[in-house]
């Protein structure tokens, strides 16, 4: 059984930075398949086609291998099964194009798509005849079952838990109910199948705050119990927090150092520190063994899962930057609209503790939820600007499929249907209410962001310019746009342009 797993290209908005990092989901799946004796190839179109940008409509660009190069790999691999990852909705046009190409080049191959987007919308995904199967949520077991069944010439597999597929004229969806309880039972991600050297060379990891290279990513837990209305990750992992043991995390770090000379790690967990004792054990072991690693949390950590003692230990264990998902400066919005279990009075002490310890801090805020008033948004801007952080981001609420926000927007007719998934990006507001329009949100967020940049440049010039230079080295166009926005924040661009 020849199996090819593909990370499709990313579709970039006009001023997006290029990013390329190991597709850990495919690497976890490949490891399970290899352990069961199957030969697997992973093709990361983004890393392998890093220099390649194909223009699309609306000024967007497709970043990654062009169709001709992908065709060659499919021909060479002659796969029986092709797994395609579709982590975010905005990647779905590219993921469907990859499936179409597979069906043209290798018509007998079975295509299976997995990731956050198809997990939330299996029926819509299977409306495309080029997709044969959808994996719902974590894909290791479902993929293995599918491969084993196909090898025996059986389809659908006897156990369909976690799979969706066409059955005659019908679409069958069997939601994932049996999640992997002990995730340590999974082998470590098969990084040996990834072009690791290329990720290090491209230097385009998650966000630009990297202290040392080579830098790579890890994920040490699955599931987040919080019920934030805009977050879609429960479609992949569910809400129960499951985690790798401290010993397993340390072993993975040590392997990354030994095999690839890694010096920095970006933890992509949704709630890295939720299990405090585990986090303490990870940090203590790093310190006790003198493991030479620095790390950050670009996907965000929850303020409610941090305290000063833990922060101090994290700092000692190499943590140099934390991104805090605060979301709102209004208690009402946090509690009644978003549903995040965060008390705002906990935020300042955590930010101050980070400053005291020398840990850099970024903060994420989101405005523009249906039901949110201008006054509440103003509270968010004021609160955010009261924090002594290194970087601040104001995103506009984006209705990702499978979230309460998406459901609400569809039910109340707040977004256009059919939804244009390519436009589901955090800086591109789609929602307008009777109180404010999407276009106004862009202006408000941009004005607040500009105030932050101006203040940061005045108060902490060295810190500010180091951050800017860092980004400039990677994407000069991006910095030029941000500079213009800061100098002319009132200049209105059409709605849908990134803030």
Closest by alpha carbon to 318, among 212, 448, 198, 395? 212
Residue range at the interface with ligand B12 (CB under 6 A); choices 151-159, 257-265, 420-428, 473-481: 420-428
For residue 292, count CB atoms less than 10 angstroms from its CB and return exposed for 0-12, middle for 13-18, buried for 19 or more.
Answer: exposed
Under rule CB under 6 A, residue 91 binds ligand B12: yes
CB of 250 to ligand B12, least distance (A): 19
**Residues in 127-146 at the binding interface with ligand B12, rule: CB under 6 A:** 135, 138-140, 143
Under rule CB under 6 A, residue 28 binds ligand B12: yes
Residue range at the interface with ligand B12 (CB under 6 A); choices 4-12, 54-62, 253-261, 430-438: 4-12
**Residue 473: count of CB within 10 angstroms of its CB:** 11
User: How distant is the alpha carbon of residue 82 from its chain centre?
Assistant: 22
Under rule CB under 6 A, residue 401 binds ligand B12: yes
| Of 4, 131, 150, 219, the one binding ligand B12 by CB under 6 A | 219
Q: What are phi and psi of 365, to 5 degrees?
A: -130, 155
CB of 432 to ligand B12, least distance (A): 19
User: How distant is the alpha carbon of residue 302 from its chain centre?
Assistant: 16
For residue 331, count CB atoms less than 10 angstroms from its CB and return exposed for 0-12, middle for 13-18, buried for 19 or more.
Answer: middle
Under rule CB under 6 A, residue 193 binds ligand B12: no
Task: Give 417's contacts (C-beta < 8 A, 6+ positions apart).
Answer: 410
Q: How would DSSP label each residue in 399-421?
A: --TTSHHHHHHHHTT-S-SS--G
The two structure tokens encoding residue 445:
């967020």
Under rule CB under 6 A, residue 231 binds ligand B12: yes
Indicate the helix (H) or strand (E) that contains 96. Answer: helix 92-105
| Of 232, 328, 408, 499, the one binding ligand B12 by CB under 6 A | 232
- Nearer of residues 63 and 315 to ligand B12, judged by Cβ: 63
Are the C-beta atoms of residues 99 and 84 closer than 8 Å to each other? yes
CB of 70 to ligand B12, least distance (A): 16
CB of 220 to ligand B12, least distance (A): 10
Give me the 266-285 binding string for ligand B12, x by CB under 6 A, dash otherwise.
Answer: --x-x---------------
Find where tokens 């609160």 sit. Answer: 383
- Nearer of residues 206 and 379 to ligand B12, judged by Cβ: 206
Under rule CB under 6 A, residue 221 binds ligand B12: no
Task: Give 181's contacts (C-beta < 8 A, 6+ positions apart).
Answer: 242
Under rule CB under 6 A, residue 62 binds ligand B12: no
Closest by alpha carbon to 275, among 302, 240, 305, 236? 305
- Nearer of residues 189 and 353 to ligand B12, judged by Cβ: 189
For residue 102, count CB atoms less than 10 angstroms from its CB and return exposed for 0-12, middle for 13-18, buried for 19 or more.
Answer: buried
- Tell me the site size for ligand B12, rule CB under 6 A: 44
Under rule CB under 6 A, residue 364 binds ligand B12: no
- Nearer of residues 116 and 448 to ligand B12, judged by Cβ: 116
Under rule CB under 6 A, residue 430 binds ligand B12: no
CB of 27 to ligand B12, least distance (A): 8
Which residues would be at the binding site for ligand B12 (CB under 6 A)? 10-12, 16, 19, 21, 23-26, 28-29, 83-85, 87-91, 112, 114-117, 135, 138-140, 143, 206, 219, 231-233, 236, 268, 270, 299, 400-401, 424-426
């Amino acid at each position: 059984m020849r199996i090819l797993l593909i990370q499709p290209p990313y579709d970039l908005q006009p001023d997006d930075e290029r990013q390329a990092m190991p597709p850990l989901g495919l690497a976890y799946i490949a490891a399970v398949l290899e352990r069961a004796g199957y030969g697997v190839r992973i093709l990361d179109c983004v890393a392998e086609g890093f220099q390649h940008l194909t223009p699309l409509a609306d000024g967007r660009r497709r970043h990654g291998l062009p169709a001709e190069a992908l065709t060659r790999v499919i021909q060479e691999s002659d796969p029986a099964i092709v797994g395609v990852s579709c982590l975010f909705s905005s990647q779905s046009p590219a993921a469907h194009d990859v499936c179409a190409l597979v069906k043209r080049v290798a018509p007998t191959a079975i295509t299976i798509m997995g990731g956050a987007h198809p997990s939330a919308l299996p029926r819509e995904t299977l409306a495309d005849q080029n997709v044969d199967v959808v994996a719902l949520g974590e894909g290791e077991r479902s993929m293995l079952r599918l491969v084993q069944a196909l090898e025996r010439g059986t389809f659908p597999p006897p156990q369909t838990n976690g799979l969706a597929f066409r059955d005659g004229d019908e679409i069958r969806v069997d939601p994932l109910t049996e999640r992997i309880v002990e995730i340590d039972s999974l082998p470590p991600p098969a990084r040996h199948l990834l072009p690791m050297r290329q990720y290090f060379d491209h230097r385009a990891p998650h966000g630009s705050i990297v202290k040392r290279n080579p830098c790579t990513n890890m994920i040490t837990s699955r599931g987040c119990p919080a019920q934030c209305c805009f977050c879609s990750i429960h479609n992949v992992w569910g809400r129960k927090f499951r985690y790798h043991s401290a010993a397993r995390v340390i072993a993975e770090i040590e392997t990354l150092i030994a095999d690839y000379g890694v010096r920095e790690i970006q933890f992509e967990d949704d709630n890295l520190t939720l299990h405090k004792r585990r986090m303490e054990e990870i940090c203590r072991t790093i310190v006790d063994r003198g493991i030479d690693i620095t790390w950050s949390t670009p996907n965000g950590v929850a303020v409610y899962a941090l305290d000063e003692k833990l922060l101090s230990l994290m700092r000692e264990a190499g943590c140099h930057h934390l991104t805090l998902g605060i979301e709102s400066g209004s208690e009402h919005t946090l509690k009644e609209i978003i549903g995040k279990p965060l008390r705002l009075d906990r935020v300042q002490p955590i930010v101050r503790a980070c400053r005291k310890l020398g840990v850099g801090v970024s903060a994420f805020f989101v405005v523009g939820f249906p039901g949110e008033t201008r006054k509440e948004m103003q509270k968010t801007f004021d609160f955010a600007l009261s924090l002594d952080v290194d970087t601040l981001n104001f995103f506009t609420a984006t209705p990702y499929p499978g979230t309460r926000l998406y459901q609400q927007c569809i039910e109340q007719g707040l977004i256009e249907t059919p939804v244009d998934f390519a436009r589901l990006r955090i800086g591109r507001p789609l929602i307008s209410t009777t109180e404010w329009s999407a276009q106004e949100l862009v202006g408000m967020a941009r004005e607040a962001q500009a105030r932050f940049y101006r203040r940061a440049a005045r108060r902490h010039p060295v810190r500010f310019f180091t951050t800017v230079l860092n980004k400039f080295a990677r994407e000069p166009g991006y910095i030029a746009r941000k500079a213009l926005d800061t100098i002319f924040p009132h200049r209105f661009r059409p709605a849908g342009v990134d803030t």
